[in-house]
């Protein structure tokens, strides 16, 4: 009778996005926003206007992006599950910058706010996910 071979744990055999992929996605999104900002706002005169709904939505997006980075991402131990959450955080922060560039009188301020949100998601944490340390006490010496 043929018995199925014992399978390895799902986390051991699951494909993982290489660290380079995390960095390429981060740099591509960051660079894209910088290019859009420099193309569309290089010659735009400053406009005086009160804060409105667009600016509040952009601030909310950056706040959600920060919550994703500092509250949600640290809970994931598997890179394949953390990667989409990383993309969501980046999209939220990038969305704030894009809203500012195209729809707000406070384009520069929202661009800087969006960039700050994206800088929180620098994938240094991904190295920890891809090369986890052993849990527990490890004596030194």
CB distance 99 to 62 below 8 Å? no
Residue 57 CA to residue 41 CA, distance in Å, equals 20
Contact between 72 and 82 (Cβ < 8 Å): no
Structure tokens that stand for 79 in this block: 């890179």
Query: What band does 17 get if pLDDT is binned at 50, 70 and 90?
Result: confident
Q: How confident is the model at residue 22 (pLDDT cuts 50, 70, 90)?
A: very high
Q: Which two tokens stand for residue 67?
A: 């919550």
Q: Are 121 and 93 in contact (CB under 8 A)?
A: yes
Predicted confidence at residue 126, as pLDDT, reads 86
Q: What is the pTM of this model?
A: 0.79
């Amino acid at each position: 009778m043929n018995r199925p071979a014992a399978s390895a744990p799902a986390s051991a055999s699951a494909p993982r996005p290489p660290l380079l992929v995390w960095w390429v996605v981060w740099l591509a999104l960051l660079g894209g926003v910088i290019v859009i900002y420099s193309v569309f706002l290089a010659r735009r005169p400053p406009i005086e206007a009160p804060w409105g709904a667009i600016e509040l939505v952009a601030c909310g997006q950056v706040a959600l992006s920060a919550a994703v980075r500092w509250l949600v991402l640290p809970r994931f131990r598997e890179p394949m599950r953390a990667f989409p959450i990383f993309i969501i955080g980046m999209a939220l922060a990038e969305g704030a910058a894009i809203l500012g560039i195209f729809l707000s009188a406070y384009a520069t301020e929202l661009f800087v706010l969006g960039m700050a949100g994206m800088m929180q998601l620098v994938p240094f944490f991904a190295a920890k996910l891809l090369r986890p340390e052993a849990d527990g006490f490890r004596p030194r010496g």
